[in-house]
């Protein structure tokens, strides 16, 4: 059993989810060839460092993240810090020879993602596009790959979250640095489309910022200020939408919002082909809508429930329709990344996939400025 020393930077929402996931791998993946060991954790907030050591069992903690990337007993650095810090952390970790898993979108801008990719060429990289790992999405990808939907004709992707819908939501780092909802939410929707429907050739799009100021405060993006609090400007987009043409000729549309009222965490897609269609929505993670063209007059969309017959589901719950949850996807993601590292093989999704998304993002942002269709140029 190979020991894999894990060093984690940024012990917030996702940092804690990855830490719990690494701890759960032993109990869920009996056939593994590695044991993740929580070696070092860094966060800028001392109380979080203490929590990481006390409650999660990290051997060491530090407020200076360099102590994680420089540690000889760390093999894998997991980066779950705010986006604007990703690049310097990746450069330092890769220079120290560590394999790097970075949360999406890998950097605060398309340029930074490209630089991160080239800095980490000699190590194994992974990126936190966790929805790829949903068991029913793996099944959906298999159906598409096997031609069960025929030729793909249409794709609709969306990610609507309400985390910013309250104007009293505090001005956390998500509203103050780099790009907004295109990096935070639309990246997931397009990454999934890349996996399911292939590359995007051209786009025409628009962006908007609906809530231009927010209360100052140190909370996460779910934190709330008070009506009289001092305010600061939101520097990036709350909303983005685009029409696209895929390289395979299919047409599609994408939308993402963090301020729209109604859908609470609707990371969803519908894909249509000449012989069938599929639909999935994170709000109903354990259900896949499947339509197959048949001669049966009673045909239509059917609901396929998650169950142990789909990849990895049975590790968390046996049988059928005994649901799994959001953090289980992170656990699958961490297992798969560690398995790639332990066997020395390239991993997917990698920083190359992060670059594929930012090429689309660049075209979208260019189109929002020019008002015209823009080609997706490789970066």
Out of 48, 60, 117, 214, the residue judged to bind ligand NAD by CB under 6 A = 48
- Are 258 and 181 in contact by the 8 Å Cβ rule? The answer is yes
Q: Taking CB under 6 A as the rule, does residue 85 contact ligand NAD?
A: yes
Tokens of 132: 């790829």
Give the interface segment with ligand NAD, choosing from 37-45, 194-202, 273-281, 287-295 (CB under 6 A): 37-45
Q: Taking CB under 6 A as the rule, does residue 10 contact ligand NAD?
A: yes
Out of 81, 271, 277, 376, the residue judged to bind ligand NAD by CB under 6 A = 81
Rounded-to-integer distance, Cα 19 and Cα 316, Å: 17
Q: How far is CA 276 from CA 139, 157, 291, in A?
A: 14, 17, 5
Rounded-to-integer distance, Cα 83 and Cα 77, Å: 15
Q: Which is nearer to ligand NAD, 48 or 272 (CB)?
A: 48
Out of 6, 9, 136, 339, the residue judged to bind ligand NAD by CB under 6 A = 9
Closest approach of ligand NAD to the CB of residue 132, in Å: 10
Q: Taking CB under 6 A as the rule, does residue 84 contact ligand NAD?
A: no
Within 91-120, the residues that bind ligand NAD by CB under 6 A are 103-104
Query: Within a 13 Å sphere around the CA of 47, how many CA atoms are in the beta-carbon half?
Result: 1
Q: Taking CB under 6 A as the rule, does residue 143 contact ligand NAD?
A: no
Q: Taking CB under 6 A as the rule, does residue 82 contact ligand NAD?
A: yes
Q: Taking CB under 6 A as the rule, does residue 128 contact ligand NAD?
A: yes
Closest approach of ligand NAD to the CB of residue 184, in Å: 6
Residue nearest to ligand NAD (CB): 12
- Mind giving me the DSSP string for 122-180? TS-EEE--GGGG-HHHHHHHHHHHTTTT-SEEEEEEEEEE-TT-STTB---HHHHSS--
Closest approach of ligand NAD to the CB of residue 105, in Å: 6
- Are 83 and 183 in contact by the 8 Å Cβ rule? The answer is yes
Q: Taking CB under 6 A as the rule, does residue 176 contact ligand NAD?
A: no
Size, binding site for ligand NAD by CB under 6 A: 24
Give the interface segment with ligand NAD, choosing from 26-34, 77-85, 276-284, 302-310 (CB under 6 A): 77-85
Out of 5, 12, 61, 126, the residue judged to bind ligand NAD by CB under 6 A = 12
Rounded-to-integer distance, Cα 15 and Cα 85, Å: 14
Q: What is the x/- site pattern for ligand NAD, positions 217-236, by CB under 6 A? A: ---x----------------
Rounded-to-integer distance, Cα 181 and Cα 158, Å: 11
Q: Taking CB under 6 A as the rule, does residue 189 contact ligand NAD?
A: no
- ω before 112 within 30° of 0 (cis)? no
Q: Which is nearer to ligand NAD, 152 or 324 (CB)?
A: 324
Rounded-to-integer distance, Cα 132 and Cα 283, Å: 15
For residue 239, give the H/E element and its range: strand 239-246
Within 318-377, the residues that bind ligand NAD by CB under 6 A are none
Q: Which is nearer to ligand NAD, 301 or 326 (CB)?
A: 326
Tokens of 302: 């059917």
Closest CA to 107 of 188, 178, 204, 38: 178
Which spans of this chain sit near ligand NAD (rule: CB under 6 A)? Answer: 9-15, 42-45, 48, 65, 80-83, 85, 103-104, 128, 130, 184, 220
């Amino acid at each position: 059993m190979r020991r894999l020393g894990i060093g984690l930077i940024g012990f917030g929402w996702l940092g804690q989810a990855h830490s719990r996931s690494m701890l759960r791998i032993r109990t869920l993946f009996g056939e593994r060839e590695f044991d993740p060991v929580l070696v070092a954790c860094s966060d800028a907030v001392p109380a979080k460092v203490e929590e990481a050591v006390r409650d999660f069992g990290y051997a060491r903690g530090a407020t200076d993240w360099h102590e994680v990337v420089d540690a000889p007993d760390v093999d894998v650095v997991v980066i779950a810090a705010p986006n604007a810090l990703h690049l310097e952390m990746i450069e330092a970790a890769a220079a120290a020879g560590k394999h790097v898993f970075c949360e999406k979108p890998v950097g605060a801008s398309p340029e930074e993602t490209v630089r991160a990719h080239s800095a980490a060429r000699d190590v194994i990289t992974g990126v936190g596009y966790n929805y790829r790992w949903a068991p029913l999405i793996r099944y959906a990808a298999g159906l598409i790959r096997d031609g069960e939907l025929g030729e793909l004709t249409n794709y609709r992707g969306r990610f609507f979250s309400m985390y910013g819908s309250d104007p009293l939501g505090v001005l956390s780092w998500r509203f103050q640095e780099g790009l907004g909802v295109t990096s935070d939410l639309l990246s997931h929707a397009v990454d999934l489309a890349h996996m399911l429907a292939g590359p995007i050739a051209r786009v025409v799009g628009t962006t908007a910022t609906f809530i231009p100021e927010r209360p100052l405060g140190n909370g996460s993006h779910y934190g709330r200020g008070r009506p009289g609090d001092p305010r600061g400007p939101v520097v990036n987009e709350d909303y983005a939408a685009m029409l696209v043409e895929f390289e395979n000729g299919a047409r599609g549309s994408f939308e993402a919002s963090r301020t729209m009222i109604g859908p609470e965490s609707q990371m969803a897609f519908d894909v249509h082909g000449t012989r069938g269609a599929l639909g999935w929505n994170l709000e109903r993670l354990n259900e896949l809508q499947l339509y197959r063209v048949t001669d049966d007059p009673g045909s239509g969309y059917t609901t396929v429930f998650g169950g142990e017959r789909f990849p990895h589901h049975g590790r968390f719950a046996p049988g059928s329709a005994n649901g799994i949850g959001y953090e289980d996807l992170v656990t699958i993601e961490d297992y798969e990344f560690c398995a790639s590292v332990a066997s020395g093989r390239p991993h997917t999704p990698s920083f190359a996939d992060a670059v594929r998304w930012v090429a689309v993002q660049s075209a979208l942002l260019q189109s929002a400025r020019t008002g015209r269709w823009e080609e997706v140029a490789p970066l």
